[in-house]
Amino acid sequence: MNILCDVDGCICQYDFTHLLAQRFGVAIPNEQIYTHDLVEALGITNSESNSIFDEAVHEHPYFIYGAQATLGRLKQAGHVVWIWTGRLKYMTIQGLEAWLDRYEVPYNYAVLDGNERKYDVHIDDAIPKLMGSSAPIKLLFDQPWNRMCHNVRGALTRVYSWAEIEEIINGQRTLP
């Protein structure tokens, strides 16, 4: 299968609490960031939001348990892993590839635009990216900023771990 995968919020996690404490002197846990849009979640400007993400993508990443190992097994089993990330707003594609290699994230290709070809599975924590995707299996990685979604079309499958993602891709779990 062709698997399109986001980075932040799926493979690794921003430490917003630390960044916001440093920048604004406030104590806001990740759990209280209720939307993916920091302008809305925090009442800050677009340029402040950009600057936070710019800083966040260059900080030491916190990997989500099982991400690298699962991607490695999927790749080994013959699946093709395509990386599509908003990090490209803050780093070049070569910079992203170097970053993925440095942190031993298994993948096949990094793409500038995940809408340019067809994928079988799309893993992301951003609802707009998933809903714009043609992938029939849309796995929404559970994060505080996507929990408000009512999923009225039933298009999204919420996943909480890489173990679940692996089960779904391996067909060990049938989707509704």
Residues interacting with Mg ion, by CB under 5 A? 6, 8-9, 125
Q: What phi and psi values does residue 85 have, to the nearest 5 degrees?
A: -145, 145
Residue placing its CB nearer to Mg ion in the complex, 9 or 144: 9
Nearer to Mg ion, 6 or 166 (CB): 6
CB atoms within 10 A of CB 1: 15
> Which CB sits closer to Mg ion, 8 or 166?
8
d(CA 83, CA 59): 19
State which residue, 36 or 74, has the beta carbon closest to Mg ion.
36
Residue nearest to Mg ion (CB): 9
Nearest distance in Å: CB 38, Mg ion: 12
Smallest gap, in angstroms, from Cβ of residue 163 to Mg ion?
19
Helices (H), 45-120: 46-58, 67-76, 93-102
Query: At closest approach, how far in Å is the CB of 87 from Mg ion?
Result: 9
Q: Which residues contact 50 (CB under 8 A, 6 or more apart)?
A: 89
Terminal-to-terminal C-alpha distance of the chain: 19
Location of structure tokens 């939307």: 35
Query: Least distance in Å: CB of 11 to Mg ion?
Result: 9
